């Protein structure tokens, strides 16, 4: 393997601010954060399309878009995402739509002269019982978590497609795998949101309605890792500028928190003054899920936003934008 930045990457991405850059999926949690970071960093030639303007599952439309726009850089943040219930209910959608999006975008990028592409995946690509903390080398060493294997298989295929195009065409395609993310534009839906936005919503609604208590499933003992989406966006800029190699790269905070401590912190940030109760008859889920992001740390990147500060900002965004 070449050293960081030495394989097929020459000029600096961060110095190339007039270059045309396409962010696929720019309105989601991840894509919107990347766009904010790009604008803040002085990039002035962003090509952005809504799903209505460009359906990334339609190969002919994607090829037409790339042949007309010919972006120099591409960041793939578009994906069909959802929780356990959605993955169990719509497995065909989760594998087919994600395979279509990434195959169309990666292939059209290569064919239309894109200089560099970054594909974003998810920590669910790793085996269910991977040793903790999970290194990049754990990929494909054991069976996946059955509840989201359809999504995970698609994301693994995306990593392998980037690697295959690099090997066959010496093309600069790289992959980053983020840990659990949170921040502005998250999904706060009462049924299918992830643990952190779900806690924010429940404590806020309890505060507004004057409820005496909030009951949370399980014992609160599982350990989880969270990364603010603005830190991920910062890592994306770093990888686009500094990294050019075959293996994918984990992007995590390296900090673990118990669900109990997380719930107590959310309660405090929201200002709910009732009681927090646990229901130990309900499942806890995986005891621990932490990614090993030492590879990225050794390159010189580390997150800047503390969990408390990130929660304060996320709660403010939720109140301002989401709560009806």
Distance from C-alpha of 1 to C-alpha of 240, rounded to nearest angstrom: 17
Question: What is the pLDDT at residue 283?
Answer: 85
Q: Please tell me the pTM assigned to this model.
A: 0.94
Query: Is residue 216 a contact partner of residue 282, using CB atoms and an 8 Å limit?
Result: no
Q: What's the mean pLDDT in 36-51?
A: 97
The tokens describing 49, both together, are: 């399309």
Provide CB contacts within 8 A for 126, sequence distance 6+.
134, 138, 139, 144, 291
Cα end-to-end distance, the chain, whole Å: 52
Report the candidate in 300, 169, 292, 158 with the shortest Cα–Cα distance to residue 243: 300
Of 63-67, 184-188, 296-300, the range with the lowest mean pLDDT is 184-188
Which of 26, 73, 126, 151 does the annotation list as catalytic? 151
**Residue 7 contacts residue 173 (beta carbons within 8 Å):** no
User: Residue 10: pLDDT above 70?
Assistant: no
Q: pLDDT tens digits for 139-152?
A: 999 999 988 899 99
Cα distances from 45 to residues 14, 62, 69, 171, in angstroms, run 13, 19, 11, 22
Structure confidence at residue 286 (pLDDT): 81
pLDDT number for residue 324? 53
Distance CA 160, CA 157 (A): 5
The pLDDT, as a whole number, for residue 244 is 98
Q: Active-site residue 151, yes or no?
A: yes
- Compute the distance between CA of residue 110 and CA of residue 38 in angstroms, rounded to an integer: 22
Give mean pLDDT, residues 121-137.
95
């Amino acid at each position: 393997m070449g050293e960081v930045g030495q394989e097929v990457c020459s000029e600096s991405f961060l110095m190339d601010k007039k270059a045309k850059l396409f962010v696929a999926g720019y309105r989601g949690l991840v894509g919107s954060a990347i766009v904010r970071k790009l604008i803040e960093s002085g990039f002035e030639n962003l090509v952005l399309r809504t799903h209505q303007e460009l359906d990334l599952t339609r190969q002919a439309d994607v090829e037409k878009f790339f042949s007309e726009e010919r972006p120099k850089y591409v960041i793939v943040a578009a994906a069909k995402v959802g929780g356990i219930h959605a993955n169990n209910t719509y497995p065909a959608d989760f594998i087919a739509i994600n395979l279509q999006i990434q195959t169309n975008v990666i292939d059209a990028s290569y064919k239309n002269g894109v200089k560099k592409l970054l594909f974003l995946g998810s920590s669910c690509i790793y085996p269910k019982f991977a040793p903790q903390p999970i290194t990049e080398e754990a990929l494909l060493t054991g069976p996946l978590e059955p509840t989201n294997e359809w999504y995970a298989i698609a994301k693994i295929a995306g990593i392998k497609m980037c690697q295959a195009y690099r090997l066959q065409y010496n093309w600069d395609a790289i992959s980053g795998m983020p840990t659990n993310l949170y921040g502005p534009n998250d999904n706060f839906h009462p049924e299918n949101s992830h643990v952190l936005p779900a806690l924010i919503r429940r404590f806020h609604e309890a505060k507004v309605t004057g409820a005496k208590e909030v009951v949370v499933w399980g014992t609160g003992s599982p350990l989880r890792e969270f990364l603010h989406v603005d830190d991920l966006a910062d890592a994306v800029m770093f990888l686009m500028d500094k990294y050019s190699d075959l293996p994918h790269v984990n992007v995590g905070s390296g900090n673990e928190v118990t669900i109990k401590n997380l719930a107590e912190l959310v309660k405090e940030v929201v200002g709910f003054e009732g009681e927090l109760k646990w229901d130990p008859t309900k499942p806890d889920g995986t005891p621990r899920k932490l990614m090993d992001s030492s590879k990225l740390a050794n390159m010189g990147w580390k997150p800047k936003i503390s969990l408390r500060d990130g929660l304060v900002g996320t709660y403010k965004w939720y109140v301002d934008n989401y709560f009806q």
